[in-house]
Amino acid sequence: MQVIDFNNPDTIATTSRLADRPDRVVGGDPIHTNRAMFDSADGELIAGTWTSTPGKWHAFTDRDEFCYIISGHVRLIAEDGSAQTFRTGDAFLIPNGFRGFWDVVETTTKHYVIRSYKAD
């Protein structure tokens, strides 16, 4: 077992267009690039680096997600309309059960660690 280096240049990036999932997109045409750095044996813990172009979409639920913004500007908007803004250098945790939206205001890159919860 090795320590995971998030600066590893050999990590393969995958790119996806969120508009290919129209049930999730609320605005814009965000393009996501992901570099998965770690995936636990049980698949419940993942970590990596993610970049998104501007857009707005429904946030995932049933997971805890820690984020550190490397560059960019995002807003997280809860169902009740309250919003929090995060920019370069900010870190935050989206707790399991959060319901709302990601709004990427300017292209953003983040490091993330996600703990997923299996449905019962």
Could you give the dihedral angle defined by the CA atoms of residues 63, 64, 70 and 73, in that order, rounded to the nearest 10 degrees? 70
Stretches where the chain sits below pLDDT 50 are none
pLDDT digits (tens, 9 = 90+) for 22-44: 888 999 999 999 999 999 999 99
C-alpha 19/C-alpha 92 separation (Å) is 26
Q: What is the pLDDT of residue 10?
A: 86
pLDDT for position 61: 85
Contact predicate 101/82, CB 8 Å? no
The pLDDT value recorded for residue 6 is 92
Rounded to whole angstroms, the Cα distance separating 20 from 14 reads: 15
What is the predicted pLDDT for the residue at 110?
Answer: 98
Q: Which domains does the chain show, CATH number per domain? A: 15-116 (2.60.120.10)
Question: How far, in Å, CA of 73 to CA of 96, rounded?
Answer: 22
